[in-house]
Amino acid sequence: MRTWTSRRTAAVLTTGAAAITSLATALPAQAIVGGTESTRPYSFMASLQYDAPRPDGHRCGAVLVAPQWALTAGHCANTPTGQKTGVPRGWKVRVGSLDVTEGGEVAEVDRFYRRITKYDPPGEDIALLHLRTPVRAEPVRLAASTPPAGTPARILGWGPSSADCDDFADPVCFSNRLREADTEVVPLDVCLDNADALPPLCIGRTDPPVGPGTTDSGGPALVRDGDEWVLAGTVVGAGAKDSSFPGLYTDVAKNAAWINGIVSGTDVPPIDPVPNVEGAAQVGNCLGSVVRPPTARPKDPALVLTNGHCVPSGRPAPGTALVDRPADLKNPVTVNDSAGYTRTTARATRLVYATMSGTDIALYRLDKTYAQLAAEGAKVFRLSTTPMRKGDRLSMAYNYNRPACTVEAVVPHLREGGHQQDHAVRYATSDNCVSLPGHSGSALLAADGQTVVGINNTHNRDGEQCTENNPCEIDRNGSVTAVQGRSYGQQVHRITACLTAGSRLDLDRPGCTLPRAAAGPR
């Protein structure tokens, strides 16, 4: 049962399905702290705008390096399915303006190419954005060599005015006006204990803090070449040692061959195919799927399935269940199209059932019927009435891809942190099915791609035995086995015997064997 934690080291604030991270697991983007408001625009400075966390539409910084190309951070260029190269929807850049809401030139991004090899240390975290039409603004030249420590540098961004700012809606903290700071390149070991094969730059100051803040990863670090500015680096993230400052920047000179190969057209990577992830849903902080049991009618309220350990108001106690409780999801449930973008949304009106005993499931009732969701183009899966068995071929319906899985074994008992599930399935390690943070609640689909036969829920993180995040297997003889890295899913076929018309739960129905309710608010 995975609990997601994040560090403020290097990344992006994304919205929508995910998870970022895999790269899917998203981390906060960066901007400028300790600077002052810029008094004149820079022709090459750009604001990347899509799925913005801020009301002014700004997401990340970018830098114009050719009339039809802008450079940004790799973690700022994300589609729901996590491709390294792709065709985005709704991305634009505003170039050459002091203000992210007006002025300059606005261009649509029609392709992107990411180069991400590592996040920790950050390494080559850059992306090139191709603009549908060229802009008239003057691009910036790339630095010809890596600036040594002590080199004066100017950093730009639309980030916070201080390190204490955390409210995106606060116009004092997060102004739509460009900020800049004059600082210098410092030795890399100020930011990192170990240099990467292609190390980034460390730029800024610790006390008082000067460097990247929130919402401008991809923004530039400029150094002088004669009487003009040239681009030395782009923001990767905050410092990774004792302080968030100075900040980490890519070394543009060491990535120049990759940049120039794409911009010139001599070495352009192919566009990645888009995996079909239709129907994957976001349910609170977990994934899920809209499921229809055999008893359901088109006019019945739809049900969405996720893990019991995903219930925000608290996990069910061992041996018990939460039954007919107030819905506790703050945000609407989103249902994705085949490319991972939101097809439609619905509100959870009730937590119908949740347990972590015998299986790990939660069912929410939605404010839309199956017929309404179908009319809006949302994919609804059938809910299986038969168990998964050894050798079954499955696919895991999460937002980054839909890997093929094989049931390597059906485990008599799976025990973790005081909870026990029965007849859990272990995925074959030779497959790409791995239960990681962000994958909880993902549907396990039968070969037909239409039927939910199971639900992903956990993996052994540290090799420990039966502890939280370290499930252990109990065989029929009571022997205990715990293997680091093993991933597991849970059975869902027992649900259908407990559901009646109208998406109602009846634990007294003949054949229903799910655990009974725990005491609590109704």
Confidence tier at 275 by pLDDT (50, 70, 90): confident
Give the torsion sign (CA, 156, 158, 161, 163). Answer: negative
CA distances from 285 to 16, 244, 298, 312, 328 (A): 11, 26, 28, 8, 12
pLDDT of residue 238: 72
> Where is 228: in which H helix or E strand?
strand 228-238
What average pLDDT does the segment 269-291 reach?
Answer: 94
Residue 109 β-bridge partners: 131
**H helix runs in 27-184, sequence order:** none
Q: What is the dihedral of CA 435, 436, 441, 447, to 10 degrees?
A: -40
Q: Residue 240 above 60 pLDDT? A: no
- ω before 121 within 30° of 0 (cis)? yes
- In this predicted structure, which of 149-158, 201-210, 254-263 has the lowest mean pLDDT? 201-210
**DSSP 8-class letter at 373:** H
Would you state the structure tokens that stand for residue 70, as one six-digit string? 């802008």
pLDDT of residue 123: 58
**DSSP 8-class letter at 493:** G
SS3 245: coil
Higher per-residue confidence, 170 vs 392: 392
Residue matched to tokens 């802008």: 70
Q: Residue 498 above 60 pLDDT? A: yes
Q: What is the pLDDT of residues 332-351, one digit of tens each?
A: 999 999 999 999 999 999 99
Domains of the chain and CATH, by start: 36-264 (2.40.10.10), 281-505 (2.40.10.10)
Confidence tier at 241 by pLDDT (50, 70, 90): low
Percent of the chain with pLDDT over 70: 89
pLDDT of residue 13: 34
Residue matched to tokens 């009730």: 350
What average pLDDT does the segment 11-32 reach?
Answer: 34
Q: Please report, for the chain, how many H helices and E strands are present, in that order.
A: 2, 34
Burial class (CB in 10 A: 0-12, 13-18, 19+), 40: exposed
Percent of the chain with pLDDT over 90: 71
Which region, left, alpha or beta, applies to residue 469 given φ > 0 means left and ψ of -120 to 50 means alpha?
A: left
Q: Residue 23 above 80 pLDDT? A: no
Q: What is the pTM of this model?
A: 0.80
- If we measure between CA atoms, which residue out of 109, 111, 107, 157 comes closest to residue 137? 107
The torsion angles phi and psi of 73, rounded to 5 degrees, stand at -80, 145
Q: Residue 202 above 50 pLDDT? A: yes
What average pLDDT does the segment 490-517 reach?
Answer: 93
Q: Residue 209 above 60 pLDDT? A: yes
Confidence tier at 239 by pLDDT (50, 70, 90): low
- Give the count of alpha carbons within 13 A of 398, CB side only: 30
Distance of alpha carbon 408 from alpha carbon 359, whole angstroms: 18
Q: Residue 166 above 70 pLDDT? A: yes
- In this predicted structure, which of 71-85, 197-211, 296-310, 389-403 has the lowest mean pLDDT? 197-211
Confidence tier at 251 by pLDDT (50, 70, 90): very high
SS3 254: helix
Q: What is the pLDDT of residues 357-408, one digit of tens each?
A: 999 999 999 999 999 999 999 999 999 999 999 999 999 888 777 888 899 9
Higher per-residue confidence, 197 vs 205: 205
Mean of the per-residue pLDDT values of the chain: 88
Q: What is the pLDDT of residues 77-127, one digit of tens each?
A: 989 888 899 999 999 999 999 999 999 999 999 999 998 665 444 557 899
- If we measure between CA atoms, which residue out of 85, 82, 97 comes closest to residue 40? 97
pLDDT of residue 213: 76
pLDDT of residue 242: 59
Which region, left, alpha or beta, applies to residue 80 given φ > 0 means left and ψ of -120 to 50 means alpha?
A: alpha
pLDDT of residue 140: 98
Quickly count: other Cβ atoms within 10 Å of residue 301's Cβ: 20
